[in-house]
Structure formats: C-alpha cells, structure tokens
Structure 1
Amino acid sequence: MGAHEVEVLTARDVPLGGPRAMTVRRTLPQRSRTLIGAWCFADHYGPDRVADSGGMDVAPHPHTGLQTVSWLFTGEIEHRDSLGTHAFVRPGEINLMTGGHGISHSEVSTPGTTVLHGVQLWLALPEAHRHAPRDFQHHAPRPVRVDGAELRVFLGTLAGDTSPVRTFTPLLGAELLLDPGATVTLDVDPAFEHGLLVDEGDIRLGDTLLRPAELGYTAPGRTALTLANTSPHRARAVLLGGTPFGEEIVMWWNFIARTDAEIRQAREDWMTGDRFGEVHGYPGDRLPAPELPHTPMKARRNPDPARTTERPAMTQPAGTPVVRLNEPRHRYEILVDEQRAGLTAFRDRDRQRVFFHTEVDDAYAGQGLASILVEQALNDVRAAGKRIVPVCPYVAKFLKKHDEYADITDPVTPEILQWLDAQLAQR
C-alpha cells in the first residue's frame, strides 16, 4: 500500500484470562498485519460496568520476549509481578513491564472501580534485547494542547513532548482527545508506520473515516497525520507508531519467540520450572498454560509492501471449517484443512454443559470461525438433550443474539461458578 493510503483493521471479541474472562476487542495481531512498528498486540476494552462484567481478574501468568503497556481511560487496576512490583494502573499513567527472558504478573481491577475502560498493548523485543532482564517503569505524562486536541505522550515524541520511558526500538504511543468538530495536523517521523485506534467518536484520518474499535494503519513515508473529529461530541483515540519491525516472530499465548521450539520450552518452564518467578499477594492460583497445537508454529511477519497492492481478503478460510467434539478433552474444536483453528471448552455438570472458554488462533482471525464453532457446539448440546450454561463471555454474547437457544439455557449462578472452580483446579 502507498504511504498516503489507510488500511482499516477491524476488531474481534476475545476472552481475557481464565474461566471468568472479561471480553476485549483485539485489533492486533491479525492475518493481514502482525505488527505496527514493534507493536504486536492491541486489546481495547470498555467502558464496562464492573457490576455487570465482573471486572478484570487475570491470575498470575507468564511473558517472554516482550514489553507490556497498560493504559487506562477509566478505573484502576492492581498490578503485581515477579520482580516484586506492586503498583496501580490509573487513567493517564503508563505502566510498562519488560519480560524478556521471563516474568509473571497478575492484573485485578480494584474494589473501588465501577467502570473499567482502557487498552492493553504489547511490544515485541528485537533480537538483541529479547532476553532482557525484568523491569518495570511508570510515567504520568502531562497533557499537551495542540489546536483542538489534548495529547498525552506515553512513549516516544509527539507535538514537542517526549516520554522518558525506555524502549528497545524507536516508538510512539499517545492518547488523543479531539474537541467536537476539531481538526488537528500532527508532524510525525516519516520513518515510522502508524496505527490510529479509535476509542470513541468518529475520526477521519486523511480521507478515511474510522469508527470506534477500528484501527487505521498508514505505511512509512508520511511527514504529518491530519485527524478530524466528525462527531458532535469529544472523540478519543490512541496513536501508535514505530519503525517497521523487520524480524519474524512466533506468538503463542503470552509468549513471543522466534521458533516453535522456544515457545514449547517456555510453556514447559512455566508449568514445571522457576524461570518466571513468583507473584506474591494474589489470592488464588496462577493460570495454567493451554495445550500446544499439534503442528509446529510458524514465524510470522508483516506482508511485504512491495508485493501487497491491496488489503488481503479476510472473508473465507482456505478450506471448509469442520467442528468436532473432543469429549476426552472436554471441548469442541474447529479445524481448517485438518489444522485446529480454535476451540470452546466445557465441563459437564449432570445434564448441564458449562462453557467457560472460547478461543480462535490469531492466524485464523477475521473469518467468523468463533461463531461457526459456538453455533455448532450449541446445536450438539441440544441434540444430546443437555442444557447450556454460558460462563464463557463469548458464548454468553452469542446467546444474546440467538434467542433460539433460550429454552435450553440456564443462568450462571454462584453455585455453578464454585463448582467450575473446583473442576478446573483438578487439571
């Protein structure tokens, strides 16, 4: 694509952490684009009423080969990690954690939080630094006014303001608040590619209109970005940027590596070793690692711009998806060309089938596989004479749109949640 074109990336809903996961909107990675600079992962959530969603409760889990960036618009999250850090994520303040060789951490919304709203971002570490030691940085950037916009620069430099937070590649990260009807032009580094993730309002990036939860990508070559708020109210977005990340990466679960063997070793180390350290103060068990795919994971990078003249199609999988029941492993699996692309996991409680987790591999994102998987799983539940209990946020959301399953759906009760916790603790 040319330097002045805008590629629009749409989000997909995914569960974040454990059987009682909250639902987030993920725009990176996806099949057409793995990275923007070193930015390799972008989750966007809220505004969620904690009384309805249950808030965030992500038990201790590991990371390798990356930095995590936490940025909130509303609410508060308590962070604990194996470096010994005990900190809070608050609106307008960045927490950046480095987990090169290995770190673990937990994230829990605080009791006083009524609305949770923000982004969770990852940065891939380059080869020279991907085994960097554990680190944690905090910074509260000052607001900067530019025309009809207010900026908070949490990484890199924009509008004359520079963040002191250290990174391993040239990067930009900033929250932008645009007044109603405002237009602002921001000078940017032409060596950077950029992504504008819209949170609220409609924002025109150049000639392309971006709506909430969409991310507009621009290739290197621009010296300025012009943003216009077409909404009658304030608009908000997060601007990400960086020099193109030329290395191939393998991403699986919470790990970033270069080979399939490294990922498998990291999983083994989490389950049996002490590579990631311990998180103290979290009232519960750590997250177990999911099962690895049976086939080797391939390294991925962005498509070569010289070979890409238009946005890759993301409509249908290469082969017809097939859903099968894997009863010994308590899950339904969806396969594409005999490769497992996703799963929805359950436990049986008498005549109830309690669904608690659904996932689709990033390599198959944007193809509607989760919907196909869940629909066929629920049809099988009906055929088996069982009832549905939707602990999984994705299944619950699916059921809200498909009332034809209402007659076989039971509510999620504290008793069922307690029973499920006991079942999963036996794994």
Structure 2
Amino acid sequence: MKRDDMPSLLLLPFPPDPADRHVLSASYKPPLTATLSQLKRSDKASKLIVAVPCPKLQGPYIRFKTFCWPEAQSLVASIYAIISVICAQLSIATDVNAGPNSVDATVILIDHGRNKRFTPDSKPAIEPNNTIIVDLATFATAYHPWDRIFHVRSELGLNVFNTYLKLAEGKQTLLHEQLVPVEGGLSLNVTKAEDAEPAPQTQCYPVVCLGGTFDHLHPGHKLLLTAGSLLLKVPEKGSPNACKFIIGVTGDEMLKNKKYAEFVEPWETRARNVLLFLSTLLTLSPKGWKDGAELEIVETDGNLSAWFRGGLITVQCVMIQDAYGPTITLEQIDALVVSGETRSGGKAVNDKRAEKGWKALDVFEVDVLDAEDISDGATKTENFASKISSTAIRQRRAEARLP
C-alpha cells in the first residue's frame, strides 16, 4: 500500500484544564483547521487520526485501571464537534467513503500525563489494560505507519511530539518530510485545589449494547461508538471470556420511508463500516495497526462479527427491526449507550426487561455534537446537528446527481 493511502496523524497537546468547549475550541481549532486544510484533496479522500494525550486512567496496576466516562466522552464529543464545524466551513465531507474533498477523522484518547517521563532505556511495548484506552508508548508501537504526522508548534505540543518520536524509535521509519508542524491555539491550565475531589470513576462492563442506523457513518456515529467501546471491561490476556460489544444496526426495511431513502446504504455496508471504524480503536499489534492484514469479518445468521486484541473483545453487529433490538432478547447485557435523541428508549428498554424479570441496564447518554462556543457565528446547535446528519448527507448526494 502506498504511503499516501495511509491515514495521517495529528498529535494534539494536552487539553486545557478545565476543558470546557469554549476553551477547547480556542486550543484545538487552529491546529485542526491547519491539518484538515492540508488534507483536503480534490482527487481522493483522506483519513486522519486525532490523538489526544490526557491522563485519563487511574489505578496502580495496569489490569485494574479506571477512568471517568462522562469526562472522557465529553472530551471526545467536543473534539468531534470542532472537527465538524471546521469541515462545514471548509466544505469538507466528514462521512466515511465520501470521496474527494472528504476527511474521515477518528478521535483517539491516549493516556499520558504532563509529568510522565520515559528513561533513555524505556522500550515501547504493547500493554493493554482493562479499558480500551492505551498509553503513549503502546500507541507509538501499535498505531502506524502514517502518511504524515502533524504536530503542534507550541511548548506543550513539542513536549508530546518529542516524547512520541522517542517512543516510536526503532518501531517506525519516519522521513523528515512526513513531519509537519502546525500552529497551536490557546494554552491554558488552571491548577486545581489540592483538596479537590477526584472525578468519580466509572464501572466498566462485560457486555455493552447500543443501536443506530449508522447510515453514511459520520462524527455523531463515531462519538456514539467510541463512547460505547470506552465502557468495555477488557479481560486479562488468556481469559476464556471475551467482553462483548453488541451493536444494533437498523434493518433496511425500517428505513424505507426515510427521506432520500434511495441513498440509504445497504445494511451490510453500514454494519461493515461500523466494524472497520472500531478496528481503528481496538486493534493492537506490535507490527503496526496497518500491517497489511485485513480485518476478518465473519457472518453468522445474518449478523456480522469481528474479534480484537487476541479475541479478548468481540464486536457483533446485529440487524434490528424494532426499537428494542437485542436488549430484550439477550438477558446478559449490562449497559446501554444512548444519544440525546434516543434517551427515552433507555427507560422503555428497562421497562420491557422488568416485565421479563431481568435486571435493568445501566444507561449512559452521550453528549450532542454542539456548535455553541465553537462556531464563529451564531450557529444554533439544532441547525448544526441537522447539517451533519445522515439525512443531510443523503440530501447532498441526491442533489449532486441532479442535472
């Protein structure tokens, strides 16, 4: 595979603390704008991995790490929102397989603290813990090769970039022309009071479920899938029991009355795109995440499945034909992830499960991709959300075919 067919990497500096959306935009919009502008190509689509180093994991032992899910998913949501606003302003399509002038961007959280130091004899190693979040050494070892690596020209940005290069040494072959500096934004860090309460840590689960149409996979879908995967409790290596991520993908029959229904992708395409996106988050290999091996997707009884991290994570896409999907047919599900649009579905699911005498699911709601405090204009969030929806993408494709 040619180098320019590979994704590019943007290494962001540490997020401001506190990381509200206004300050995040001031910090991250300039480097994201510069990177996305350079990746927009009139002859082909581009891919971008946005790596965000932040000390999210807590706990003394690697197999018992914990983190605060609300904080983590909110950070991911904010960055996807910034990306979406920038792409709207630059006329860059954000959906998967959108062709020329599109950038397929994926946000990945990297566990790395400002004061973490690596000794000269430190050797990167694949060290997965019981969450899907990896540290910077593991990321530098397992995620490559790249087309280009963009890094922020600031003190904090260079701190992350230089550490990454040291950890990647001997694992990656990088040319000077691949390393592209971009301007940084505002740097702000407010020191927390010593007696400040730590954020409450979130329990992870053996079986997590969510559902959606996933038509023309876009940043809103990516946020939902990332938020769900963050809740997975990854078992120890050698464990006979894999954790399971069950994703209900709406069947074609339920979508035939959607606007511009003729541009809805077939169920198998939508399910495969879900698995391919998750492979970016979940694949770990010392040979690199693009080592030439294609993701193996297995079809069983009309469902599509894939396995990651040596079989420790099972992801299964199932076809759903109603509002409940597998949540009322599989008792062993532990947690349900919903969006703001589907929050009422969580209560309906638990009511149905109660009728069966089953335990209620723990319900987690992801943030909306909010344009407020990010867009330079008076963009209303609801209008912004409609512009990045699957319906809007289908409409643009329909209009592009008009004479």
TM-score, L = length of structure 1: 0.27
More helix by share: 2
Greater length-normalized contact order (CA 8 Å, ≥ 6 residues apart): 2
TM-score, L = length of structure 2: 0.28
